[in-house]
Amino acid sequence: MDLHLMTARPTDEERRAVDGLLGPEPAMNDRVVRGGHETRADRTLLLPALHALHAAEGWISEGGLNYICERLTVPPAEAYGVATFYAMFSVQPQPKTVVHVCDDIACRIQGGNALVAELEALGADGDWTWTRSPCLGMCEQAPAIFAQRAGRPDVSLGEATVATVRAAVAPDSTVTCAGGVTAPQVWDPVVRAGLRLLRRLGEVDPSSIDAYRAAGGYAALRRAIDLGSEGTIREITDATLLGRGGAAFPTGVKWKAVAEQSARPHFVICNADESEPGTFKDRLVMELDPFSVVEALTIAGYATGAERGYVYIRGEYPLATERLERAVAEARVHGYLGDDVMEHGFRFDIELRRGAGAYICGEETALFNSLEGKRGEPRNKPPFPVTSGVFGKPTAINNVETLINVLPILELGAQGYSSVGTEDSTGTRLFCLSGHVERPGVYEHPHGVTLGDAIVSAGGVRGGKRLKAVLLGGAAGGFVGPDRLDARLTFEDARAGGYTLGSGVIMVFDEDTDLVDLVLRIARFFRDESCGQCVPCRVGTVRQEEALLRLVSGRTLGTRADELALLEDVADVMRDASICGLGQTAAAAVGSAISTFGLFDGSGA
Amino acid sequence: MSAVPVAPPRRLLDAEVDGVVVRVPEGATILDACRDQGIDTPTMCYADNLTPINACRVCVVEVEGARTLVPACSRTVEAGMKIRTDTDRVRHSRRLVMELLGSSVDTSLASSDWHRWQDEYAAAPDRFGAPTDPMEAGERDRRWAGHHHGSPDPSRAETVSQPVKVDNELYVRDYGRCVLCYKCVEACGTDAQHTFAIAVAGRGFDARISTEYAVPLDVSACVYCGNCIGVCPTGALMFSSEHDMRAAGTWDEDRQTVTNTICPYCGVGCELELHVQDNAIVKVTSPTDNDVTSGHLCIKGRFGFQYVQRRKKDRT
C-alpha cells in the first residue's frame, strides 16, 4: 500500500498526546524500514490513539489525525471513517468541555427533560457546550450527565442539575465521579450475606488487591488451576451457566469450542460496553468490585488457552475504567497477571480498551472490529467468534455479569451453584431496577423471582402510584403491562411467555407516564445508533421514527391502520433481514408498546 | 479463472433449494446454487469481482433452522442445508429492502434487472411519503454520529439527495444515488486498487462514502483508476463524459456500440470495452470475468482514450 497522507501537520500538543500513547517517533534512519505486517498490526491502536488525541485537544484535527495515520500506517480516509463512527469524537473544532446530558427513557421521566430545557434556555458560553445523550448507564441516579473534558479527567454524575453541570465545566472544577453504592441489598448485612455477585460491593475496598483477597478473592482462580483447564470448563458446563448479555448462550460450550481450536493465539474478551438503555449493573460491578472481573477473565484465559484478554469498556464509564485499570495494574504487580500467573506457569495479561460512544460496539463482532481499529460494524455470522473472532482468531467473548458468575461456580462447585435458580436457569441474576421505583439500583435475585417481587424488592412503585408499564430487557426488549407481574424471570419462562430478560432491565413506569413519548425516544435511539451497514436497519429505523411521528401528530399517510401496517412491515424486514441483533430488535419495544397498550388505536395511552 | 485448474478439486455437497436436491462444490454460496438452478435472485451490493459484504440484504433466503433470513450472496452452502427462496418471508423482506432503498436513494439509473425485480416484487417506495428536498452541498458530510438528525417533516421520506460532487475532469460523484453498497470502497481498497482514497464515514442513515474530511478528490489519495465507477450499481459514480451527455440529453445507449480491444499502454494486456456513441468513445469498461483485469483497470486504460479521438486542431 502506498500511504497517501494529508499535508496538515500536528501541533506540538497533538504530537505529544499521540506520542504519549505510541512512544516517541522513531528516528528516521536509512537502514531501518518499517512496514508490512509489523505496521499493519498497529491498526488496533487506532481507537486508543484517537482517544489520546481527543482527550488532549477536545477534537480531532486534520493535523492530529494525519500524525496518527503516519504513525500507524493507516490511510487517512479510513481513519476518518473510524473517527466519524463514534459519538464521543468530533472532527470539527468544539469547546474543550462537552457535557452529554442523558435524555433517554429513564432520565427523561426523572428530570432529564427538564435539565435539557434549562440548558437550552441558558445558551452556550463558549468554553463549554452540551448535547443530548442516549442512556449513560446511570439510570438509578437519574438524571445523569457525562462531562467529556479535554485536558482533565472525564466525569459522570448523577442526580444532575444545572448546578452540577456548572460545577463539572468550571475551569477550577474539583468534581469527581460520584461512584455511589447503588445496590440497596448490600445495605442490609443479612441480605448481603446471601448474595453471590454483589456481596463485596461497598464493603471491600475496590482499590486494594489485599482487601479483595481477604474477602475470598482469587480462591476461584486457585480452584481453576487445581481443576485444570478441562476441569474448569466441565464445572462451568455442569453449572449450566448461560450468557447474561442477552443471547443466553451456554458459556461452557463457548469456552470448550475455543479451547479446542488448533488455530493460535486464542483471545478472551470481557464485553463491558454496557450500553443497553436501562442497564447499569456491569458499571456498578466494575466500579465497586473490579478485581472480580480481572480474576474471572483470567480464569477464562486459563480455561481457553488464551494469553491475552481484553476488557472493552464503555467510553462513558470513567470511574469504572479508572478502577479496572488500577486493578489490572495491581494484579500484575502481585503476580496474578503476567508471564507466570500465580507461579503456575501460565501466561496471561489484560488490556483495557475504551469504546467511544457507539451502542453497536456491544455487539460482539462489532466489538472485534472496533478493537481492530476498524469501524464498529457487525460481521455476518458464520463464522462465529469461537472459530474466527478478534484478529480472525478463536475468541471467547463474555459479558461482565456472565464472567463474574464463574467465580461462585468455582467456589461452590457446579452443584452448589445450581442450588439456587431453576433447573434451566441456574444461579442468580442481576437486575437493573430504575424508573418510578422507591429504591432504584442493582439487585441480585435467584432466577425464578417474579417480576412483581423484583419490583417490590426495590420498594415498589414510587409514591404509592399505580403501575402502568414495565420495560423488560432494555430498548431491545419489550414493554409489559401490570398483568405480567407474576411472570417468572427465567430464560425458559421468558422464551415461553414471549418476553425477554435481555440485559436484566426492569424499568418501571407509573400511571402518569407518557408511553408515546418513550416509544418515540426508543425509535430515535435506534435511528441514532444504527451503524448504517445494512439497508433494513439503516433505512428501516428512519422510516419507523417517521411513521411514529406521523401517528403522534395525527397527520398520517392514509389511515392510522395503514401507518400501523407500514410499521409492522418495516419491523418484519428489520427483524428478519438485518445483519445483527440491533436491527433485529429495533422494532421490538416499539411494537410491544403499541400492541400491549393500544397506543395509536384511538383510545389513547 | 485460469484455463488450467490450479486448485485441488473441491468436494461436492448436496443441499436442497426449493425442494430440489442440488449438488454444488464445497465453498459455493447459496447464490451460486440458486443461479445453477436458474433461480432469479435479486442482488444490489453483490458483484462477481468483489468480496460479498451482504449489506443490502435483498438476496436473503430462508434456511431451515435459522432464526433469521440469510444472505445468499455470502453464505456458503452446507451439506444437507434446506433453502427456500420463494416464501412469504423472503418475498416480504426483498420487497421491503427495495422499498426502503427506493424511498431513500435515487435508483433510477440502476440496472434493468433491478427495475424488473422492483416490478416483480411490486415494490412501492412512495408509500413512505414524498421524498425530502436535496440537502445543501456538504451538509451530509458534516453529520455527526450519535447526534440526532431528526425528520423535520415526517410526512416526507428522508433521502440522501444532495448536489453532485464535481471536483475533477474525469468522473463525478452523485451521492444522491448512493445505496451504500460498499463496492467502491472495496474496489478502491483491498479488492482491487489498494489506494484507500475513500471509506465509509459517519453512522446510520448519515453514513456516507467520503475521503478524509470530505476533501476534494484531487487532494485525496485517489489515483483516478476509475474502478469505483466500474463497480457502482446505481450511477452514483460516473464518467464526466456520461454525466455531461446525460445533462445535455444526448446520452443514448441505444445508439452506442461496444468494441472490445486490448489496452495499448503497457504489456499487461488488459481487455477494454470501448463504449462508442456517434463515433466517439464515451466510457471504458472491462469485462468482470476477464482473467487479466477482473473488470478493474488503471487511469490509462480507463480514461486515457482521448488521443484516439482528439482531432489535430484540438491538440496543443
Residues near A129 by Cβ (< 8 Å), separated by ≥ 6?
Answer: A94, A95, A97, A98, A99
| Residue-level pLDDT at A60 | 98
User: Which letter does DSSP use for residue A242 in this model?
Assistant: B
d(CA A165, CA A176): 12
In a shared domain, residues A254 and A375: yes
d(CA B207, CA B145): 8
In a shared domain, residues A345 and A446: no
Whether A372 contacts chain B with CB within 8 A:
no
* Stronger pLDDT, A202 or A41, i.e. the higher one: A202
* HEC-encoded secondary structure of A278-346: CCCHHHHHHHHCHHHHHHHHHHHHHHHCEEEEEEEECCCCHHHHHHHHHHHHHHHHCCCCEEEECCCCE
For residue B58, the chain A residues in CB contact (below 8 A) are 535
In a shared domain, residues A272 and A286: yes
Whether A363 contacts chain B with CB within 8 A:
no
Q: Which residue has the cell 472532527?
A: A91
Is the per-residue pLDDT at A26 higher than 90? no
Q: In what order do the strands lie in the sheet with B82-84?
A: B20-25, B12-17, B82-84, B60-63, B70-71
In a shared domain, residues A490 and A542: no
Is the per-residue pLDDT at A604 higher than 50? no
| Residue-level pLDDT at A39 | 75
Q: What is the ipTM of this complex?
A: 0.96
Residue A37 inside a domain? The answer is yes
* Stronger pLDDT, A28 or B132, i.e. the higher one: B132
| Residue-level pLDDT at A605 | 44
Is the per-residue pLDDT at A603 higher than 60? no
Partner-chain residue, chosen from A4, A530, A536, that has the shortest CB–CB distance to B204: A530
Is the per-residue pLDDT at B263 higher than 90? yes
Q: What residue of A is the nearest CA neighbor of B72?
A: A577
Residue A189 CA neighbour count, 13 Å, CB half: 0
Interface contact flag, A535 B205, Cβ < 8 Å: no
Interface-testing mutation among B203, B208, B298, with chain A (most A C-beta atoms within 10 A): B203
Residue A380 inside a domain? The answer is yes
Interface contact flag, A535 B100, Cβ < 8 Å: yes
CA separation, residue B87 to residues A265, A500, B61, B84, B291 (Å): 43, 28, 8, 6, 38
In a shared domain, residues A534 and A493: no
Interface contact flag, A531 B58, Cβ < 8 Å: no
Interface contact flag, A528 B148, Cβ < 8 Å: yes
Residues near A17 by Cβ (< 8 Å), separated by ≥ 6?
Answer: A52, A53, A55, A56, A57, A64
Interface-testing mutation among B29, B57, B224, with chain A (most A C-beta atoms within 10 A): B57
Question: Is the domain defined by B1-132 classed in CATH 3.40.50.300?
Answer: no
* pLDDT-derived band at A123, boundaries 50, 70, 90: confident
Whether B74 contacts chain A with CB within 8 A:
yes
Whether A370 contacts chain B with CB within 8 A:
no
Which of A358, A545, A538, A78 is CA-nearest to residue B56?
A538
CB atoms within 10 A of CB B153: 16
* HEC-encoded secondary structure of B28-64: CEHHHHHHHCCCCCCCCCCCCCCCCCCCCCCCEEEEC
Residue A186 inside a domain? The answer is no
Helix (H, G, I), strand (E, B) or coil at A388: coil
- Portion of chain A with pLDDT greater than 90, in percent: 93
**B97: closest CA of chain A, how far (Å):** 6
Interface contact flag, A532 B179, Cβ < 8 Å: no
Whether A226 contacts chain B with CB within 8 A:
no
Residue A228 inside a domain? The answer is yes
Partner-chain residue, chosen from A75, A534, A578, that has the shortest CB–CB distance to B221: A75
| Residue-level pLDDT at B4 | 64
Which of B50, B209, B142 is CA-nearest to residue A77?
B209
In a shared domain, residues A221 and A361: yes
User: Looking at the 3D structure of chain A, how many domains does it have?
Assistant: 5
For residue A573, the chain B residues in CB contact (below 8 A) are 92-93, 96-97, 100
CATH value at residue A383: 3.40.50.11540
Q: Please give the interface size between A and B, counted as residue pairs whose CB atoms are below 8 Å apart.
A: 207
Is the per-residue pLDDT at B280 higher than 70? yes
Interface contact flag, B127 A557, Cβ < 8 Å: yes
d(CA A324, CA A311): 9
DSSP string, chain B: --SS--SPPPPEEEEEETTEEEEEETT-BHHHHHHHTT-----SS--TTS-----S-TTEEEETT-SS-EETTTPBP-TT-EEESSSHHHHHHHHHHHHHHHHHS--TTS-HHHHHHHHHTT--GGGG-EEPPPPPTTTGGG--TTS----S-TTEE-----PPB--SSSEEE-GGG----SHHHHHHTTTTT-----EEES-GGG-EEE-GGG--GGGSS-----HHHHH-SSSSEEEHHHHHHHHHT---GGGEEEEEEE-SSSSS--EEEEEEETTEEEEEE--TT-TTTTT---HHHHHTTHHHH--GGG--
Is the per-residue pLDDT at A519 higher than 60? yes
Interface contact flag, B103 A576, Cβ < 8 Å: no
User: What fold is seen in the domain B160-314?
Assistant: Alpha-Beta Plaits (3.30.70)
Pinpoint the alpha helices (H) of A436-479: 451-457
Question: How big is chain B, counted in residues?
Answer: 316
Residue ranges making up the domain that contains A564:
515-597
In a shared domain, residues A347 and A471: no
- Portion of chain B with pLDDT greater than 90, in percent: 91
Interface contact flag, B204 A528, Cβ < 8 Å: yes
Question: How big is chain A, counted in residues?
Answer: 605
Interface of B with A in 168-207 (CB under 8 A): 179-180, 194-207
For residue A527, the chain B residues in CB contact (below 8 A) are 148, 204-205
Q: What residue of A is the nearest CA neighbor of B185?
A: A78
Interface contact flag, B212 A76, Cβ < 8 Å: yes
CB atoms within 10 A of CB A194: 13
Residue A412 inside a domain? The answer is yes
Mean pLDDT (chain A) is 95
Rounded to a whole number of angstroms, the distance between the first and last alpha carbons of chain B is: 43
Interface contact flag, A536 B205, Cβ < 8 Å: no
Is the per-residue pLDDT at A183 higher than 60? yes
CB atoms within 10 A of CB A459: 14
Which H helix or E strand runs over A399? Answer: strand A395-399
In a shared domain, residues A291 and A355: yes
Helix (H, G, I), strand (E, B) or coil at A439: coil
Whether B116 contacts chain A with CB within 8 A:
no
Q: Provide the sign of the torsion angle of the four alpha carbons A456, A459, A465, A471, taken in this order.
A: negative
d(CA A499, CA A491): 10
- Portion of chain A with pLDDT greater than 70, in percent: 98
Whether B154 contacts chain A with CB within 8 A:
yes
CATH value at residue A141: 3.40.30.10
Interface contact flag, B97 A577, Cβ < 8 Å: yes
Whether B130 contacts chain A with CB within 8 A:
no
Q: What is the mean pLDDT of residues A312-321?
A: 98
Q: What is the mean pLDDT of residues B57-74?
A: 97
In a shared domain, residues A379 and A432: no
Interface contact flag, A80 B93, Cβ < 8 Å: no
Q: What residue segments make up the domains of chain B, in order of their start?
A: 1-132, 160-314
Residue A526 inside a domain? The answer is yes
Partner-chain residue, chosen from B74, B97, B199, that has the shortest CB–CB distance to A536: B97
In a shared domain, residues A554 and A432: no
Interface contact flag, B68 A531, Cβ < 8 Å: no
Residue A30 inside a domain? The answer is yes
Whether B88 contacts chain A with CB within 8 A:
no
Q: What is the mean pLDDT of residues B289-314?
A: 89
Q: Which three cell numbers stand for residue A414?
A: 457446579
Interface of B with A in 234-273 (CB under 8 A): none
Whether A546 contacts chain B with CB within 8 A:
yes
Which of A272, A397, A362 is CA-nearest to residue A582?
A362
**A27: closest CA of chain B, how far (Å):** 26
Q: In what order do the strands lie in the sheet with B256-262?
A: B256-262, B271-277, B280-285
Residues near B263 by Cβ (< 8 Å), separated by ≥ 6?
Answer: B269, B270, B271, B272, B297, B300, B301
Q: Is the omega angle on the peptide bond into residue B25 within 30 degrees of 0, that is, cis?
A: no
Residues B70-112 pLDDT 10s: 999 999 999 999 999 999 999 999 999 999 999 999 999 999 9
In a shared domain, residues A452 and A532: no
Interface of B with A in 52-71 (CB under 8 A): 54-58, 60, 68-69, 71
Q: Which three cell numbers stand for residue B65?
A: 433452522
Q: What residue of B is the nearest CA neighbor of A2?
A: B195
Whether A118 contacts chain B with CB within 8 A:
no
d(CA B207, CA A84): 9
CB atoms within 10 A of CB B108: 11
CATH value at residue A493: 3.10.20.600
DSSP string, A182-212: --GGGGSHHHHHT-SSSTTTTTS-TT-HHHH
| Residue-level pLDDT at A247 | 86
Least confident window among B2-6, B43-47, B212-216: B2-6
| Residue-level pLDDT at A2 | 73
Interface-testing mutation among A78, A82, A535, with chain B (most B C-beta atoms within 10 A): A535
Whether A248 contacts chain B with CB within 8 A:
no
For residue B103, the chain A residues in CB contact (below 8 A) are 539, 543
Is the per-residue pLDDT at A31 higher than 90? no
Whether A527 contacts chain B with CB within 8 A:
yes
d(CA B87, CA A229): 46
- Find the largest Cα–Cα distance for chain B: 69
Q: Which residue has the cell 464498529?
A: A376
**A72: closest CA of chain B, how far (Å):** 15
